[in-house]
Amino acid sequence: MATISEMDKEFKDYLKEINAMREAVTLIQWDLRTKIPKKGVEQRSEVVGYLSQKIHQMQVSDKMKAFIDALKDNTEDEIIQKSVLECLDTYEKNRKIPEDEYREYVMLQSKSEAVWQEARNKADFSLFQPYLEKLVAYNIKFANYWGYKENIYDALLNNYEPGVTVKTLDEVFPKVRKSLSELLQKIQQSSVKPNTDLLTAHFPKQAQEAFSVEILNRMGYDFDAGRLDDTIHPFEITINLNDVRITTRYDEQDFRMAVFGIIHEAGHALYEQNIDKRLEGTPLASGTSMGIHESQSLFWENFLGRNNVFWESHYDVFKKYAPQHFAQVDLHDFYQAVNEVKPSLIRIEADELTYPLHIMIRYELEKALINGEIEVKDLPQLWNEKMVEYLGVEPPTDKEGVLQDIHWAGGDFGYFPSYALGYMYAAQFKDKMSESIQIDEVIKSGDFAPIRKWLTENIHQYGKMKKPLDILKDVTGEGLNPDYLINYLTSKYREIYKL
């Protein structure tokens, strides 16, 4: 019989084998979303399905169960112990899904993303509808396999934000919505009207990229362990801790899409690049939850990138790359413009204040879908109705409406709430950070290393060694508290709009 130390080594080797296949799948997924020829999608999806099925088989194998049983209470290695517990959670969850259903679902995800892109380009939801119906059906089936206590949607939330439930969201979201809606109403009544026309000038993609790369370097994004590409829907993807890639979408008439998008995705990437390298090759070598992940991207994008001190100290750098038009744009007017509050159609283009309202719309729709209260065919109309109710705008076509996000095409139900939760976490983290770091002084210096170091020490390094709500409690001393976000937005926009 093998000793515990021998089992430790065999377990690590087994994890490396699983991780090698997962890395191959992740690289294929990056290719599917960026560079693949249209005709290559079908066969590549088959490959993803095949490899994912192999990973699934290894995760629920008798061999995995033997490792779990032997090591969960016996190993003295903390990383091994927590890896075993992570594998146990995956084992129990995936074992409930038949292999053939899992493979079919993974293939459906890949095909659905390609169909979604076509439907989005043609602004035709009907092309995507049959695929989305299958994705919803699978998610309902899987949620029932996994089980839940109060609401079936909780089973899906648990995949992205362990510890958070519908009950939590239905308590917090209405409070945030009420506060933000009241603030939005006051802003709309204000006589202060930022002029965003001054931001629109032809700004070549290459110049936008050059400015963004300079900011990425200041943030500490490691280009020796990453790369920047363009795609339809921006994302960050981790092949491994030494290959963490980001993408963006360029609009040569409005630099905000790419510049703020790149800062956002780099926030995700910094999290992954600064996970403790001792976790490499284990299931702990990734962000602990999508909410904590979003807290990092939104911290960098909003609390730093839209900060007045950032632009006071970086406006000259910006003008070095920007078209001559911006030489005549006053810094105060520029800052006001990039922080304009105006209800818009597209989530990733939304201002800081209305952004959470976009998330709440998606949460309510997908929660209703999973609970069988609405049907997929009714989504375009329901989406538009909620946009009018929450934001006072109505999408002219499906492209600007129900087809704008890739998440449902990837089967990511339960994901959207993480964006709003991450925003709340970020506000709490910033408040705590300010107790030990003069944040504005760091931003002025142009060297953001102290901020990155604080985030790494308190959040990044742990990967999945800690659960999301444990990180929040350990760092801030309290649980989820939306007041920090509400106070931040209220203070900032009272000043900008002279309320």
Letter string b/e over residues 243-275, b meaning 16 or more CB atoms within 10 A of that residue's CB: bbbbbbebebebbbbbbbbbbbbbbbbbbbbbb
At 326, give phi and psi (nearest 5°). Answer: -75, -15
> Does the active-site annotation cover 349?
no
Measured between alpha carbons, how far is 74 from 362 in angstroms, rounded to an integer?
A: 44
Take residue 316 and report the two structure tokens written for it. Answer: 């000259």
- At 247 the three-state DSSP class reads strand
Measured between alpha carbons, how far is 413 from 484 in angstroms, rounded to an integer?
A: 27
Query: Tokens 């926009």 correspond to what residue?
Result: 493
Residue 30: enclosing H or E segment and its boundaries? helix 4-34
The catalytic residue among 113, 161, 209, 265 is 265
Measured between alpha carbons, how far is 58 from 149 in angstroms, rounded to an integer?
A: 29
Q: Which of 457, 459, 458, 437 has its CA nearest to residue 448?
A: 437
Beta bridge partners of 244: 238
Question: Any known ligand binding at 272?
Answer: no
Question: Any known ligand binding at 264?
Answer: yes
**Helix, strand, coil share (%) of the chain residues, nearest 5:** 70, 5, 30
Measured between alpha carbons, how far is 468 from 170 in angstroms, rounded to an integer?
A: 19
* DSSP state at residue 303: I
Take residue 156 and report the two structure tokens written for it. Answer: 């899906």
Query: Binding site residues, as ranges?
Result: 264, 268, 294
Q: Which residues are catalytic?
A: 265
Query: Binding site residues for Zn(2+), as ranges?
Result: 264, 268, 294
